[in-house]
A and B are shown apart, each in its own frame.
Chain A
Amino acid sequence: MKLNREKIIPHLKQASKLSFFEVQGNSYSAKEFIEKYKNLLSEKEQMIVDYSKDFINDTKIFPIPIANVSEKSELIIAEKKPNFLKKVGSRSAYLKSKKLKFKGCRPVGDDLYFPHEKLDFGDTKMVTTKIPFGVLTVENVMREILAFCFFKKYKLNFLHEPIEVFEYKKGKKIIGYCLLTKSESEERLESQENFLGLTVKDLIILSRIEKEEKIDIFSNVKSFQKISNEWYAENKGQLLADMNFNGGFRGVLNSNLGNDIEYKGGFYICDFDTFVVIEIPQKANYQFIKNFVLWCIIEIIKSSPFVFDYVNLGNIGKKESAKILWDIYTDKSMLWKKYFKKFLEYSRKNGWKEKDVMKAIDETIETEVFYEMILDNVLNSQVIKNTYKPELSFYTKQG
């Protein structure tokens, strides 16, 4: 799929003041919604939803859907609502006084799409499809609710309780969904991320000094201003290992450091619209272990803090480049070390042979998707030369 970055970018840069109106469509409680669309999930996933359904909210706060649209929008059916919401990302809003988050509340138009990167279980190449911009799909909403049920079932930290779903319509046509959640905090750790005020060029020079002069410059840099690297790695490593070994995966799109939250001393992740749950077989064969390892590695490196280093990869090939960057990442990332320790503990409990796990890792780092992901963990010449201009990025900082 060819991405039209220039067409999408202006829509990402909306003002921080939002305009909410009552619009065409329907409103469902979270419980009504899962009854209607549960069959979009796999059998295993439906069992998890059933297990936790007593925890699902069955009341509505807004009987008529509201949306963040321009005052000229043809979707509007009633007068403007008071402007009480704060922007979150490019398509969501937060009502701090009531701790309500509106995810996908910008039905901007039905001909505008956002890229959706997907890696199916067993595949080694990502597929890019498209999703409507500004809103969620019905499946996205079900996956958010599934994640809530999954985290409840396995008693894992979770911060966003699904409350209600808006189904936006233009005439008879459904144009997208918005999920309303009770959200204790939207303060993302990304807003505390520490890059030392360096430029790309500064890092290149300093990393060369560090290597050639053997001066320790970066080993004690705090990734976040207010929390320690040890606390972050320990808590996130544990949560991700617990999630993965109970069969839960966020997918490439949701595995992002921008979705990390520290709240009252606890570590949380959010954003689960591509969340899936797979069955972990009692006796896993090597093929399963290999596919599982690939998914785990992609998700952990996709959401790891940046490693302070630079490598000039020159003209060497993808596989060799991937190996060099992986060696640096595994040597320097505290998150990886903590996560992998827990990974090995779980895999031993599952009866997986360590030599199979290590072989699966060796095969993972030779895949196309791994190369694409590891390029962003350690700064290198290939990513600098092949990147798009920063102003064409689709990412909206969450913090």
Chain B
Amino acid sequence: MSENFKKIKNKISKTLIAEKKKKLKEELDELQNNSNIDIDIKLQDFIISRR
């Protein structure tokens, strides 16, 4: 995890992130199942591949 992301995470409690992940699980699974990409791909790699 990058330093920048750690800083962002510090703004938000770990509990909140865990809660949100749980709440979004169905939506994330649906997205993953209908996509050609792995949604755990680095955002940078994904965005640049679309240029």
Contact = CB atoms under 8 A, between A and B. Distances in A.
Given A196-B8, A209-B20, A384 B37 contact: yes
Given A204-B28, A205-B24, A397-B48, A199 B4 contact: no
B8 to A, nearest CB: 6
Interface string B10-31: 0110001100110010011001
Interface in A26-73: none
Nearest to B6: A197
Nearest to B7: A196
A327 interface: no
Given A384-B37, A390-B41, A393-B50, A205 B20 contact: yes
Contacts of A200: 37, 39-43, 46
Interface residues of B, number: 33
A256 interface: yes
Contacts of A384: 31, 35, 37, 39
B2 A389 contact: no
Interface of A: 190, 193-206, 208-209, 212-213, 215, 217, 256-258, 306, 312, 376, 379, 381, 383-385, 387-391, 393, 395, 397
Contacts of A379: 43
A206 B8 CA distance: 9
B27 A312 contact: yes
Nearest 9 pairs of A and B residues by beta carbon: A197-B2, A393-B49, A390-B49, A195-B44, A196-B4, A395-B51, A201-B39, A195-B43, A200-B39
Given A190-B48, A196-B2, A199-B42, 12 more contacts: A196-B5, A196-B43, A200-B37, A200-B41, A201-B39, A201-B40, A209-B12, A217-B12, A306-B43, A381-B31, A390-B49, A395-B51
Contacts, number: 108
A389 B36 contact: yes
Per DSSP, chain B at the interface is helix
Nearest to A212: B20
B35 A387 contact: yes
Contacts of B21: 205
A199 B39 contact: yes
Contacts of B20: 205, 208-209, 212
A197 B41 contact: no
19 contacts: A197-B5, A198-B2, A199-B43, A200-B43, A200-B46, A203-B43, A205-B20, A208-B20, A209-B12, A209-B20, A215-B11, A215-B12, A376-B51, A379-B43, A389-B37, A390-B41, A390-B46, A393-B49, A397-B48
Contacts of A215: 11-12
Nearest to A375: B50
A393 B5 CA distance: 26
